[in-house]
Amino acid sequence: MRRPFVSCSRPCSAHGFSAGGPTPSPCTWPASGAGPSSSSGASPPLRRMPGPEAGNPPASLAEGLARAASSPAGLRLFNGRGQLTAELSYRALNQQARVRATQLRALAGAGPRPAVVGLIAHTSLSFITDFLACQWAGLLPCPLPPPTVALGVGPYVERTLRMLAAVQASALLLDASHTPLQAAFERQAESIAPGLRVVPTDSLPAAADTVGLQPLQGSDAAYIQFSSGTTNAPKGIEISQRAICHNLHAILHAGLRIQPDDRAFSWLPLYHDMGLVGFLLAPILGAVPLDLLPPQAFARHPQLWPRLMAELRSTICFAPSFAWGLAADRTPPDQASALRLKLRVAGVGGDVVREHDLHRFATRFDVSGFSAGQFHPCYGLAEATLAVSMGPASVDAHGRSTSGTPLPGWDIRIVDDAGAPLPAMQTGRIHLRGPALMTGYWQHGRLSPVSPQDWFATEDLGHLTPAGELVVTGRLQSLLVIRGRNVHAEAVEAAVCAQLQLAHGTVMALQEARAPGESMALVVLVECPVQDPDQRRQWADTARRAAFSASGDAAEIRLVAPRTVKLTTSGKIARQMTLDHLRQGHD
């Protein structure tokens, strides 16, 4: 039985965040077409009204926010039961961000660069408002992952402080939900991040008049985004105002080609580039109505995602390949047949595109009005602000999914090990050049700048088709050399997962020398929950056949306990962390 939605017609201040300013008027937006069935009780879907047009991109995020405030569109937040918990028009959001900025001015430093302020990035109005307020206050926000039960308070606090020390942050802002961590942060900050101020939001000065705010300008930085960390050392990535505004404009008007009746839906974490840029900043600056679900709600109930998209008539959503497959696996056929999806762009990004995942979703939700042609694979990375290429689903001559053509301003080339450009259909390292490239990496309290005029060497492998479409085949660190042949770990992992019907992140391929002086052999770790010896042998045999079909090599299959394969905060396999875990004797 479907749980009811809770519509929200209260003033925005009733949601517990008024930033000390005047109480905004109730949120009332025009509807677009028929809403969800009356049994759901949801507020009617919202129509993207006239707002920022294709024209020129804004010079800064603050300018883009001011433009978006002319539109009555806005955002809504849902909880893990699919209930509406908060809603705010972009006009009211901009107003609250400006009021909050008057409080945050106390955190500004005296140096020539904007002061860096750490923000714990829960999917909440408080984080969203504080991030945008930093733009108006002339501060440089740095979104940080929220705490998790698995990591524990001590290790979480230490990791967060090391991230803040790496970018020379002057303050860490804690909203009411994180103030219990204040003492732990203050105890460890003295030794890890000397000089860092831990500031609860309830200790900020009273709000003042917004006249005289000095926002970040077009020549300033916009924010610092940490990489997802497939190794043990995430890097702080500084993105300029020019880069973010250029990339957002390209995404909205060349990639998505936003339409008047579009509305976006996302459960992606806001500390990750796909969530922050693609499904917070892009909808706001494009005046596209936005519905947000916390990432943990998707993790617990993947079937809630397609249900909400159908109820809310969402037209744009992006997620990694594994998420589309997981939603299909967790949604029974009878539930899928009751849904009517309106997706125009079902984006796929964040990792290598896995055709098997997309096929499962398209097959399960065919009865819901979804077709595989609505998939739009893309390629991007935090170092490129977000998106580099995007386009409708297609395959190359070998049947591998493409990730679209370059967005305006981007140049892509494929090079060999010596850095020489390769022709179409030859696999090599992906190099990028364009105006949305990062300013540089922050590590150990120093910025190492890069130039947007120079080619940037990514850690990704792929090739270009004769038509100029990009095909991403894997990551450099996951390229295995087995008896002198290149084998893509992702291809082996996808094949084994498909045959055993396992979720992404439960299989990891690696290379290992069985004896000193011998060439590397293929080893595949497979998380196996069954204990029966006969069933385990069947698992191993099936995995061995799948690995051979993907690699052309006989693999050693090692059945390991569930949760042995570690994942990054963005859902990618953390290969080095997994290997370190195994070497410490955990299996």
The model's pLDDT over 215-224, given as tens digits with 9 standing for 90+, comes to: 999 999 999 9
pLDDT of residue 2: 32
Higher pLDDT pick, 239 / 46: 239
Q: Return d(Cα 564, Cα 570) in angstroms, integer.
A: 17
Closest CA to 51 of 32, 69, 28, 31: 69
- Identify each DSSP E strand in 63-139 by its residue range: 74-78, 84-89, 116-120
Share of the chain above pLDDT 90, in %: 70
pLDDT tens digits, 230-258: 345 668 999 999 999 999 999 999 999 99
Residue 572 vs residues 469, 540, 576: alpha-carbon distances, Å:
23, 23, 12
Q: Which helix (H) or strand (E) holds 137?
A: helix 125-137
Mean pLDDT is highest, among 89-98, 347-356, 544-553, for 89-98
- pLDDT band for position 586 (cuts 50, 70, 90): low
Share of the chain above pLDDT 70, in %: 87
DSSP per position, 299-356: HH-TTHHHHHHHHHT--EEEE-HHHHHHHHHHS-HHHHHT-----SEEEE-SS---HH
- pLDDT band for position 37 (cuts 50, 70, 90): very low
pLDDT of residue 580: 80
Name the token pair of 489.
């770990």
pLDDT of residue 226: 93
pLDDT of residue 571: 72
Name the token pair of 318.
């992006």
Span 56-83, mean pLDDT? 96
Query: What residues contact 22, with CB distance under 8 A and at least 6 apart?
Result: none
**20 φψ region: left (φ > 0), alpha (ψ -120 to 50), beta (else):** left
Cβ–Cβ < 8 Å for 314, 283: no
Higher pLDDT pick, 496 / 582: 496
Q: Specify the pTM.
A: 0.82
Higher pLDDT pick, 513 / 378: 378
- The per-residue pLDDT of the chain, averaged, comes to 87
Cβ–Cβ < 8 Å for 421, 414: yes
Is 476 a residue whose pLDDT tops 70? yes
Among 43-52, 540-549, 574-583, which stretch is predicted with the lowest mean pLDDT? 43-52
Among 301-310, 504-513, 530-539, which stretch is predicted with the lowest mean pLDDT? 504-513
pLDDT tens digits, 126-151: 999 999 999 999 999 999 999 987 78
pLDDT of residue 340: 98
Secondary structure (H, E, C), 400-451: CECCCEECCCCEEEEECCCCCECCCCCCEEEEEECCCCCCEEEECCEEEECC
- pLDDT band for position 112 (cuts 50, 70, 90): confident
Half-sphere exposure of 409 (CA within 13 A, CB side): 22
Residue with tokens 């992140």: 505
The CATH classification number of 483-583 equals 3.30.300.30
Span 279-288, mean pLDDT? 98
Is 44 a residue whose pLDDT tops 90? no
pLDDT of residue 570: 64
Domain ranges of the chain: 60-237, 483-583
Q: What is the DSSP letter of 221?
A: E
Parallel, antiparallel, or unpaired: how do β-strands 221-226 and 197-200 relate? unpaired
Among 4-8, 131-135, 390-394, which stretch is predicted with the lowest mean pLDDT? 4-8
Is 540 a residue whose pLDDT tops 70? yes
Is 152 a residue whose pLDDT tops 70? yes
Span 41-64, mean pLDDT? 63
pLDDT tens digits, 51-60: 445 678 999 9
pLDDT of residue 229: 58
pLDDT of residue 88: 97
Distance, first Cα to last Cα, the chain: 40
Dihedral through CA 282, CA 283, CA 287, CA 289, nearest 10?
A: 180
pLDDT tens digits, 167-212: 999 999 999 999 899 999 999 999 999 999 999 999 999 999 999 8
- pLDDT band for position 456 (cuts 50, 70, 90): very high
Higher pLDDT pick, 451 / 439: 439
Cβ–Cβ < 8 Å for 12, 24: yes
pLDDT tens digits, 410-424: 999 999 999 999 999
Q: Return d(Cα 218, Cα 267) in angstroms, integer.
A: 30
Closest CA to 73 of 51, 41, 56: 51
Residue with tokens 């302020």: 117
- pLDDT band for position 517 (cuts 50, 70, 90): low
pLDDT of residue 233: 64
Is 532 a residue whose pLDDT tops 50? yes
Q: Return d(Cα 200, Cα 197) in angstroms, integer.
A: 10
| Secondary-structure percent of the chain, ordered helix, strand, coil, rounded to 5 | 35, 25, 45
- pLDDT band for position 28 (cuts 50, 70, 90): very low
Q: Return d(Cα 5, Cα 461) in angstroms, integer.
A: 44
Cβ–Cβ < 8 Å for 221, 237: no
Q: Which CATH number fits domain 60-237: 2.60.40.420, 3.40.50.10210, 3.40.50.12780, 3.30.450.40?
A: 3.40.50.12780
